[in-house]
Amino acid sequence: MIKPHGSDVLNPLFVYDVEKHHALMQEAEGLPSITLSSAAAANAVMMGAGYFNPLTGYMNAADALGSAEKLQTTSGLFFPVPILNLTHDIAAISGASRIALRDPNVEGNPVLAIQDVDAIEEITAEQMQTMTSKIFGTTDSSHPGVSAFNSQGRFAISGAIQVLNFSYFQSDFPDTFRTAVEIRNEIQEHGWEKVVAFQTRNPMHRAHEELCKMALKELDADGVVIHMLLGKLKQGDIPAPVRDAAIRKMAELYFPPNTVMITGYGFDMLYAGPREAVLHALFRQNMGATHLIVGRDHAGVGDYYGAFDAQTIFDEQVPEGALEIEIFKADHTAYSKKLKRVVMMRDAPDHSKEDFVLLSGTKVREMLGQGIAPPPEFSRPEVAKILSDYYQSLES
């Protein structure tokens, strides 16, 4: 099986030992505490689940800047985005060497993790601008990732963490949320060697379905892990339960048996385009995937990134050998009227524009909202029904 990033074995930061877990929960109640930003809480969940291996906790300013500017920490560890615990107010933890981190996304703000405080550093406006520009390729506050990143505060609390729960992800998505440890174990149970990961924050239409099937066939892979983001999205994105239902219906009806795992992970979307694509590759390697599908405008938003910037970054900025996972580069996909199936447009050089059925996501959302079923060339009818019911519920 493919090795995790940066170590021979996966080192999740969740405390699985029951006695130790109980003792830490008791200790946490007597510690100074802060309520995390949603992004910092998501970082803790990802570290707890083993996805951000081999990190042992939140980065300090130097490591965060190195990650943003050079895609590596001061020790030389390849990591494409800073993993930070930023906060506005440090009064409650001033002078503390060990603190409790509370969950902003669960009622009552229960303890999510305990952190050993290595340093509390104030990030300058110039450093924030540098990191923002490098991570997102823009400092435009209209970009949802830029806005979220810059709203967390300027104090960076660095140090190792011990994670004590997985926030709302385990309770709200018991059938879907999986740690990197659990996915690795399930891949081994399946006996899969070559494994394709598919990232999604949206429901899967015909093009996505066929893309997974193309990758399975072209790579001669054993299976595909459909790995959906379960954390915070931007306004207008479809909620995770609706996506989950639609994807499960598609896999049940249209994929061969025992070729698909449907799972999810707890993270807030960055919308960082190319940089987020590299992060996606890193944590898919940690969960045991050998290949990641990277398509058009992967992890992008608006017009901030070129259509295939998320592919070229692997050739231009990721050093040779930094990651073991390989990228399956996908082109625009569309339904071919000539061939009566979905194809990658680069594989159909004899086609004209009129030979393809092209529908934008915006157009499809409009149709669903009006109760109009998209053409079967674009969306499976069973999937369209689930989405249509959701959109119409918004109108009522």
Average pLDDT over residues 313-317: 97
Can 105 be counted among the known catalytic residues? no
Whether residues 235 and 360 share a domain: the answer is yes
Residues 252 and 262 sit within 8 Å (Cβ to Cβ): no
Whether residues 310 and 371 share a domain: the answer is yes
Instruction: Select from 148, 167, 186 the last residue of a domain.
Output: 167
Q: Tens digit of pLDDT for each residue in 69-120?
A: 999 999 999 999 999 999 999 999 999 999 999 999 999 999 999 999 999 9
Is the model's pTM score more than 0.85?
yes
Torsion sign across C-alpha atoms 154, 155, 158, 161: negative
Instruction: Select from 128, 149, 167 the last residue of a domain.
Output: 167
Can 365 be counted among the known catalytic residues? no
Instruction: Please choose, from the candidates 341, 331, 330, the residue with its C-alpha nearest in 3D space to the C-alpha of residue 376.
Output: 341
Whether residues 68 and 134 share a domain: the answer is yes
Residue 88 forms part of a structural domain:
yes
Q: Tens digit of pLDDT for each residue in 272-288?
A: 999 999 999 999 999 99
User: What gap in Å lies between CA 130 and CA 139, rounded to an integer?
Assistant: 9
Order the strands of the 356-357 sheet from edge to edge: 341-344, 333-336, 356-357
Q: What is the CATH number of the domain that holds 49?
A: 3.10.400.10
Whether residues 204 and 346 share a domain: the answer is yes
Whether residues 67 and 182 share a domain: the answer is no
DSSP string, 31-54: S-EEEPPHHHHHHHHHHHTTTTTT
Of 98, 201, 248, 365, which one is the catalytic site residue?
A: 201
> What letter does residue 4 receive in the DSSP assignment?
P
Q: Is the pLDDT of residue 236 over 80?
A: no
Q: Tens digit of pLDDT for each residue in 341-374?
A: 888 888 888 898 888 887 666 677 778 778 888 8
Of 11, 109, 154, 202, which one is the catalytic site residue?
A: 202
Q: What is the CATH number of the domain that holds 230?
A: 3.40.50.620
